[in-house]
Amino acid sequence: MTQTPSATERIEIERACERIVYAYSRALDLGDMSAAADFFAENGSFARPMAPDKVIQGREAIRAALLTRPKTLLTKHLATNVIIDVVSRDEARGLSYLTMISTTLPGDAAPPYVSAGPVYFGEIKDRFVREGGEWKILERRGSVQMKFSGAAAP
């Protein structure tokens, strides 16, 4: 079995990995942290954008970490500028921009909920692996470079 994907296979791999980037963001924003954890390989590792030096090892440890998120937190994770590099039929790398904003759900209001910011601007480096026919995140490293709260903020 060759490791060199055809043009069509290459595009399919790129699309599958892009989709993970978007679907993972969506799981976080739905507050479905266990579904987010399921995007990782069993031996996957993760450093959150806000804690880039703290690597969490293994899907179940990632799940436990994600599940500590307060249930009243509402987030929006915008993933843009997604570039996927296909390494082989079963390996790929990803680079994407993450723009994140959150707020705490009030008990009594209706959407759209007001966020006081900040808007965070960061990036995500991924390694993807195909396991049993399914693409998973083997390694995810986040970082945040900038934040914006509005001109009047300190």
- Binding positions for a copy of itself, rule: CB under 8 A: 7-9, 11-12, 14-15, 19, 22-23, 25-26, 29, 74, 76-83, 95, 97, 99, 101, 103, 111-122, 143-154
What six digits make up the tokens of 89? 């039929």
Residue 140: name the closest of 93, 91, 102, 78 by CA: 93
Q: Which two tokens stand for residue 2?
A: 């060759």
Pick 55 or 95: Cβ nearer a copy of itself = 95
Closest to a copy of itself by CB, 27 or 41 = 27
**Whose Cβ is closer to a copy of itself: residue 1's or residue 152's?**
152
Give yes or no for a cis peptide into 111 (omega within 30° of 0): no
> Quick one: which of 19, 28, 5 has its CA closest to 128?
19
Min dist. Cβ of residue 73 to a copy of itself (A): 11
